[in-house]
Amino acid sequence: MRKIVWLAVLAVPLIVLATLPARVVLSFLEVPEGIGQVQGSVWSGQAHWRQPGHAPVRVDWRWRGGRQWHWQAEGMDTGLHGRWQPTASGLALLDVEGQLALERVDLAYWLINARPRGYLDVSLERAVIVPGQVPEIAGEMTWREARLEGAIHESLGEIGMDFSHREGTQLVRVESLRPASVQVRGRIDLNADHYDVDLWLRASSDRPDLVSQLARLGEMQPDGQVRVQLRGMLGW
């Protein structure tokens, strides 16, 4: 009889954990702004991510055993899926695949005189996110139907971005994948307290009229390329 009593006592916290509403758990976590309409439990549930000016994205998750959950995000212009698992001080997103509309990525701070358009093909092996630290991202993204609108209104074709992490620095190598009116190459470094952008732009030989427009974004080089260098502070 005593054993049965102890088993019942031990079962109580397990039952509570298994049925704990997801909204209760999220109240203790640092989730992005706009997450709401949380339903279900920590094992299986859904929520909605809302951004001003965009249709909401539905996020679903389901426990897959061990310390891993499967998740997917679906919206009118977004479709992503992958796995996630908790780490000692943050979380890790694994095998992230899908597409993300570039309009959902806040790049106004980086591109003041031009608005990027198109969408991102995402293929990331992992993204480890720890509050207060540089994200550790490994994988690739391809900017498809890439174009700029604003001070410069031109097609950029397709641009590849390769992500790697070395000695506390997140590296992003950028390179045009096919001919376009403007060719791009360079890199972006993200450190604990600052970022460095070093991009090289070249107008195609049949578009000499773009040279003066590109010169507004950076420093003209003797070979006709325009070098864009930016540096600023970061706060993770």
pLDDT tens-digit map of 1-44: 433 333 333 333 333 334 344 443 444 344 555 666 777 777 78
155 and 116 together in one domain: yes
Residue 67 falls inside a structural domain: no
Contact 38, 22 (CB under 8 A): yes
For tokens 């003797």, the residue is 222
Most confident of 31-35, 42-46, 57-61, 113-117: 57-61
Residue 28 falls inside a structural domain: yes
Report which DSSP code applies to 104: G
99 and 159 together in one domain: yes
- Over pLDDT 90: what percentage of the chain? 27
192 and 229 together in one domain: yes
- Which H helix or E strand runs over 6? helix 2-18
212 and 136 together in one domain: yes
| pLDDT at site 22 | 45
97 and 15 together in one domain: no
89 and 57 together in one domain: no
Sequence-ordered list of residues with C-beta below 8 angstroms from that of 216, at least 6 positions apart, any chain? 113, 151, 152
Nearest by Cα to 224 from 203, 197, 198: 203
| pLDDT at site 151 | 66
97 and 205 together in one domain: yes
Residue 68 falls inside a structural domain: no
Of 31-45, 105-119, 205-219, the range with the lowest mean pLDDT is 105-119
Give the residue numbers spanning the domain of 89.
77-233
Phi and psi, residue 209, nearest 5°: -70, -15
Residue 163 falls inside a structural domain: yes
Question: What's the structural domain count of the chain?
Answer: 2
Nearest by Cα to 179 from 197, 150, 154, 149: 154
